[in-house]
Structures are given as C-alpha cells and as structure tokens.
A and B are shown apart, each in its own frame.
Chain A
C-alpha cells in the first residue's frame, strides 16, 4: 500500500510539472502567436524582406515616321563604399582607373570624403561594368540605370535639348514635354536570404513602374539631314556668326526641319561648347531685323485692304528719297516708276515705304499683328521670344515706312516662317506645331495633335496676287535667281539687313536671308534661311541664302516625290540625264 501511494504522488508530481510546463508553453505561444502576432510578423518581415524602387524608362523622342531621335541607353552606375575595401585602397584605385578611366586623383579625393558611399562613375556601359564586376571587389556596387542617348548626335540637337543630372529636361523638347516623357517609379518587395540575395518565392510589386510616353515630332529626319548638311556647306562657305534654317508645311503648320548653327552633340556635352551657348535654341530666342523679307507681308496687307493692286505704279524716286528728314535708299539700283509687283521683284525700299504710307499706320499695324509679329507662335516653349514690335501708340513718324521694309522690328525665325505659311496657304495661317502625336505606354493609346488654323491673315485673292508677285523674284529680272529650282515655280523673297548694334546700324554686319515656298501654287513647304553676319563670299541674301534655298528645296522635293510643275527640259532629256548618271 505504501509503495502504491508513493507511486501516485510521484506520478502526480511529474504530470503536474509537465502540465505546468505545457501550460506555460501554451501561454507563451498564445502570447506570441495571437497577442503579439502583428507586431512580431512585422518585425520578422522587416528582417527577411526588402524592397527596391524600380523606375520605368523615359519616353523616346521620334520623328514623324518613327525614326529615333532620343532614346535610353542601358548602363550601370558604379558606387563605392571605401570602408568595405579589403584590398589596399591604391590597388582598388588602380583597377578602377584601368577599367573605367577615372583619374586616380579624383578617386582618392572622393574616397577621402566623409561619406559611406561615393559615386565612382555614372553611365558605365554594361560590358565594362561586367568586366569590373569580375574582380569581385568588396565595397564596389553596381546600380542598373539608363542614360539618355541621342543616336543622331548633333542632328536637331538644339531643338531636342538635353537633361540635367536628375533626368529632368532642361531645354528644348526634353523640357517642353518633360512631364509626358517622365517615367513613374514602382516598388517591388521580395524575400532575401542571409546574404541579401533575392529569393525566388513571394515576389510582388506594390506599385508597377510606368514608362514615359513616346513623343513623335512633326520633324522628318531625312529632311532634317538635308537641311543640316546644306547648313554645314553654307557655314563652311560664308563663315557666319550664326545661321538658322526653318522648314514648315504651310497646309498643316507642321515644322519639318530646324537647322541651327552653332550646334552641339548632346552625347558629348563639351564644356567649351556649353560655355559658349552652342546648345541655345536660337530659332526660338533670337530676334533679327528681317529686312526685305518683311516687304511681302506689308504689301500683302496693302493688297488685302485694296490700297493698291499689283499693276499700280509707284514712283521709286530713282533710288533716293527723303522722308521725315531721313534719307531712304534703294541699294544697288535706281528705278523710276515701278509697278507694285516690280517693287517686290526689285525689292525697292522706297516703293514699299510709299505703299505703306498709303496704307496708314493703323492698317499696317493690323496687318503685322495679324501675321503674328510681337507674339509667341504658340509652340509652347517657355523661353520663346516674342520679338520686338512696338504697340501702335509708340510709333513715330518713321515707324510706318521703316517697319514696312523690315527695319526697327525684331522677329524670330519661327514668327517669319509662320507668317509666310499664311501667305502660302491662301491666306490661312495654321498654328505651327512640332509635336505630331504622343504614344502612351498603354497599348493603343495615342494622342494626336490636330492641325488647326490660327487666323485668316489675308483674303485668298490677295494671297494669290502676292504669290504671283513673289514668283517673279526667282525669275529673270528678280533679285534671287539663285533660289530657283529647275522644274518648279518658286515664290520667295530675299532679305539683307544691317545689324543694329549699340544704337546704330553697323555697315559691316549684316543678316542675309531668303524665305520662300515651292511649288508656288501648292506649296510642299515654306523654307527660311537666315544667316547672321556672314564674313566670306558676300553678304546679300541673294548671294548667301538663296543658293542654299535652291539646293535644300531641290533635294527635299526629290525626297517628298513632288512632281515638277514646269517642264523646263523635255521629259526624255531628263530621263536620259537620269539614266546616264553613274
């Protein structure tokens, strides 16, 4: 009996102890699994999960046919944590110098900074980064990234603009369309192992990164190439300070090409070029006195207001006339009476000034305002200049006669092209546009930018009369026979203006220009060539700009497959010429 009681007590003690232990464990588990569940889960998750920020790609910029103008080059940023270097720092520096070409002095300076991590080099090509990674250097880290890349180098570079170090557009289209081109950031959460490597399971994206939208321009890359190649020839021949070429389709306001000198290569932004403002978008910001190319606008206004007709006679005073005690001369020629169309053909200052006086200030002001001078063209660029066009109340006695011949007024190349688009398009001036469409990353979502008329600037009859007069400029007896294109009727006007520097017109500094459209009756494009301070081989618009117009127009018409409107040589002769070419 005695033994039995001892056994029972012992068993009770053992089971009691086990029960108490089990109860304690259960209570602890209850506390861990239920009471502190959320808190502990978060703690654990923080240990074995991590997240990374993912960025989409910046949208591409393409021409109207989808030729890439600005894209993204995949590359890697190389970062270093000097505190984690196992090898001698000099050895690491030697390897980095050899593989990445970063100067040892610069690396030493960076590594001595009081920072945990420093940038060794940004935008390293993937192959070079992989080569460096093969050294397996502790403390060297690689971050996948993209660098903006312009595959056509300097082509259209000033208008395209470039990005700052944070990937934001700072000029040109890159700045204009920055919000559209910008990608959005995404966040991916994943589990990691002890070494921090991503585990395959349970990978999730909290927010999906979104690529920026692709922007298609109205620019046509082959035409842009033609324009820039001819611009290079012009610059080589005349050595100007600056030169601009703008081509637009008058029927829908689409800008087809913009050439500028000086320009730059956005892939290699050389400090010298950047310091001297070679990246500036001068067609938007630079105003110039248009000179004689303004005469067509002024006289078109006179025709529109029925002040004159093309056949009316104007006394051109044998090339010398005093108005408001200031002499006005017709440079290079002395004419007596000229018909209105001859005033344009011979580019008479006196004839145009007299027609303007007949119009009166109010009508002239209305005309120039209607053609868009003194206002931005509406392309949307923030830094677009408006030129200088005084309000009517500030006009003096000379304003009317001088503004009509393009003196005392500053216009931008784009404003002038816009105005001539109005002349070429039978009096309807279309809104200039450079963005054709925006393609969003979601498949099939495309915003089309519609062409729209901006204003009716002339009656169609007045526009037709002006075009007829302008056609005589490039024919026998006109000032710009060099601008003629065989087989086509060219309507255009030369301009040569002295530059206004420090309050006076400087005799040695000129702006030579030519603007015209072709074929005259149904223009494929309006083309402006403005050359700032040509220093060699002449300075007249007819000598500097007109030949370039002819060459560009001929090549562009060929590219656009615009059939000739006039048959100057028999067709069989043309064919024979064509087939006989090497």
Chain B
C-alpha cells in the first residue's frame, strides 16, 4: 500500500510539471502572432507599394504610348485630308478611268432640311443604317455583315 502511496505523490509531481508546460507556450503565442502580423503587414505594405509604383510607371508609359498613337492618328487624319481633296479625287477618277462625273446643273435639288452633323467623322452609310434599325433587327444586320 505504501509503495502505492509514494508512487501517487510522484505522480502529483509529474502532474504539476505537465501542468506548467502549456502555460509557458500560451504566454509566447500572443507576442509572436503580433510580431508575425506586423511583419506580414510590413511586407504586404512594401509589396503593395512596389506594385503601385510599378503600375504607375506602367500607366505613365501607356499614357505616353497612347499620346503617341493619338498624335499618329491626328497625322493620319491630315493625310486623309490630302486624299479627300477635290483635286485628288478628280485626278484619281481620271487615272483609274472611273467614268464618274459631277451631276448636271439642276440635277440635284437642295432641300431645306436641318443640317445633319455626324457624331463621328468616320461614320459610314452602314453605321447610319444600323442606328436607324430597331433592336430586333440586329440579327439581320449581323447576317448582312457576314
């Protein structure tokens, strides 16, 4: 019996030692987590900041490229003006023997309609036609395009 009793005390000691171990780990967990969070936050901040900077740089470059393209489009519009000129058209008609000629005087009657101002300079007869159509006609229009 005694041997059993001494053995019980020893078991209590063991139990005490086991009870102390988890409380030490629990005490470290919080500051470590905070430190980790702070570190993660800092890394995320730096990473986002770096991404933002590179995006800004990319945006600036794209804006520059867009500006260049815009200028080239403007330059092409100037070229288009050359090709739109009456002189160029009449010479091309002769050169390619298109057999086109202006209408005979009086052939065209001027009607007093309100002046139509196209929304875009490149508007064509097709797009005008498309805009006048009802939504249900879209399938037919697509068919036409095919």
Contact = CB atoms under 8 A, between A and B. Distances in A.
A225 B86 contact: yes
B101 interface: yes
Nearest to A577: B104
B106 A151 contact: no
A155 B85 contact: yes
A151 B105 contact: no
A200 B56 contact: yes
Contacts of A239: none
B27 interface: no
Contact of B99 (A130, A201, A574, A582): A582
Contact of A152 (B56, B87, B105, B110): B87
B49 interface: no
Interface of A, helix, strand, loop or mixed by DSSP: mixed
Given A126-B72, A225-B90, A68 B99 contact: no
Interface stretch (B2-10, B16-24, B75-83): B75-83
Given A574-B104, A578-B104, A73 B78 contact: yes
Interface stretch (A205-213, A450-458, A555-563): A555-563
Contact of A126 (B75, B78, B104, B107): B75
B78 A559 contact: no
Interface string B53-82: 000110110000000100110110011011
A199 interface: yes
Interface string A455-485: 0000000000000000000000000000000
A71 interface: yes
B87 A225 contact: yes
Contacts of B26: none
Nearest to B109: A561
Given A126-B75, A200-B60, A152 B85 contact: yes
A74 B75 contact: yes
Interface string A193-231: 000011111000000000000000000011001101100
Contact of B106 (A153, A229, A564): A564
Contacts of B103: 558, 561
Interface residues of A, number: 41
B32 interface: no
A562 B108 CA distance: 9
Interface string B84-96: 1111001000000
A196 B59 CA distance: 17
Nearest to B107: A561
B134 to A, nearest CB: 32
A67 B81 CA distance: 7
A71 B81 contact: yes
A205 to B, nearest CB: 15
A9 interface: no
Interface in A130-170: 130, 144, 149, 151-153, 155
8 contacts: A71-B81, A74-B74, A151-B82, A155-B87, A200-B57, A201-B56, A226-B86, A561-B110
In the complex, the 7 A-B pairs of residues with the closest C-beta atoms, listed nearest first: A563-B106, A74-B71, A200-B56, A222-B86, A151-B81, A225-B86, A225-B87
Given A144-B71, A198-B60, 17 more contacts: A71-B78, A72-B74, A74-B72, A74-B75, A126-B75, A151-B78, A151-B81, A152-B81, A197-B57, A221-B85, A229-B87, A229-B90, A558-B103, A561-B108, A561-B110, A562-B106, A564-B105
